[in-house]
Structure 1
Amino acid sequence: MPAVTVENILALPRVPRPEPAAAVQRPVRSVTSAPSGLEGEGFPVRRAFAGVSLQDIDPFVHMDQMGEVEYAPGEAKGTPWHPHRGFETVTYMIDGIFEHTDSNGGGGVITDGDTQWMTAGSGILHIEKPPEHLVASGGLFHGIQLWVNLPKADKWNPPRYQDIRGREAALLASPDGGALLRVIAGEVGGHTGPGSTFTPITLLHATLGPGAELVLPWRPDFNALAYVLAGRGSVGAEARPVRLGQLAVFGPGDALTVAAAPRQESRAPQLEVLLLGGRPIREPVALYGPFVMNTREELVRAMEDYRAGRLGSVPAGHLPYTSGEAPPGQG
């Protein structure tokens, strides 16, 4: 169960349901299943965007569902030191704890509904890991890391952080109270989340009770994606079935529909879905490991700058990542 919940959902502001006669429902263009893998030092992930074209997800380039996993004592893992340039990483911690440290002396701890928004910009080194007490005790770990591309004009901006506490997210309800929405960034139905973005996007986490339906207004100039974190349901007016680990890509329109199946499994009693979209950048994308640039030449320069130490230095007291030809790919 997500850490951020409410005692009385009926006391929350409501998201207005679009009028059927005035709204154009977005059709479902595709549903894909995320393959599972291991990241960093070996924590389990689902690659949410695998098999989907960059054109369909623009301005996003990558997303991992981290966990959901219940670690035994000594099992929790993180990532080694690694670089980034040219985009933003958004780490949303649904349950559990993660620590971040970077080459500029920044970072912090996110837990139970918190989000860390790191603009890598011109370049940074960082590391993500569970705190020592979680490694010792074990515990629940579940989160999302999303990569948001930066327009060419913003790729060389200085790195920065936004630490968004779970309590800062805008909490909303569907008109009948069947769905709880946590708006992390962007706007939906006149309600705005706390995240500040270079590229206009909307990012929210919705929890739907069994049999509940959520119909949301959605900016027509944004694309629209729905990723199932837990449970079973359907998407679109055509009620296309979806389940844990599946991504739905919507077509054009100004409203979208998500519904929870009337019966859910006991281990996932509700439908948990991440809804996201943004205004496409429509620029060339050159992607290699932890770098997202516009050209191959810029990727070569990023590698050269990383090897020469121009993306930053690992702070004293921390072991650096050592590599052969390339730094780690994700994280």
Structure 2
Amino acid sequence: MSRPRKKKGRPVSGWLVLDKPYRMGSTEAVSKIKWLFGAEKAGHAGTLDPLASGMLPLALGEATKTVPYVQDGAKVYRFTISWGEERTTDDLEGEVAKSSDQRPDKESILALLPKYTGIIMQVPPQFSAIKIAGERAYDMARDGETVDIPAREVEIARFDLIEIVDEDSAVFEIECGKGTYVRSLARDMGRDLGCYGYISSLRRTEVYPFTEEDMVTMEEIEEALAQVPMPEPEPREGDERPRSPKPGPDQWKFLDKLLLDTGAGLESLPQIIVSDDTAARIRSGNPAIVRGRDAPVEADEACAFSHGKLLAIGSIEAGMFRPKRVFAA
């Protein structure tokens, strides 16, 4: 019988709300943070394009189980649309496909915004991760194919014009739901205004329930690492290449201070606080009576906390909490 594989990494859990730098990919960010924290598991709650900066919530350890609740949260983007060109990727990276000498005035832009507010139908960009017949749209587009992507329903709760920079560009901010493509907004608005447009800068500032105050920059991570000198890398036999020093326990104690609790992403769920005795029952997978004047009597999903730490996610039926997923202490 084969022995179970030894887990690589340490069982650290929590959320790191990264202020992702421009040009860093989401997968690259996950790998880097997982390596720095020495984590067993890591994931992100919603891809952010390499050409975009800003909030990328990263889940470590037990927090990966709560990723879907953050992915479904409202998001806020601030972005610049440059007028006069439509590009193959709908952003700076693509080639110019169409151009125009026309430029929109402020009144025309403001008059158009209601069309893109509320529940709208949107066609994702040709260069997107949407799967068509099992293939990623961006792979097909890179091969020169014109991809027929069906329109999808998305919701934009708020669409504000922030600033007219000059006649060639304007800054906007939106609050939107899951699956909204900002690049598609620039493309479609440019067509409606008769001048074409593409995204020239994009920053995500919020992913509910996290806010800008929660964000941690790479500079802050580097400052935490610098509190204690990094350990010397252990040489491998026959490997003459210099190896990067790897953080260890002395560095982790400073890095871990940057993490939010595993339950930080669950503000959308009803929350109950339980006693030690009740926590012991729930930890064993048993239902428990919900106590407290303001405690919910019914809830399809709710979360239980003990001593400020997430204990379990479950349902509440007739005043009884029934755990569905219990979290490690």
The reply to whether TM is greater than 0.5 is no
Q: Which has the higher contact order (CA 8 A, sep 6+)?
A: 1
Alignment TM-score, normalising by the size of structure 1: 0.24
Alignment TM-score, normalising by the size of structure 2: 0.24
More helix by share: 2
More strand by share: 1
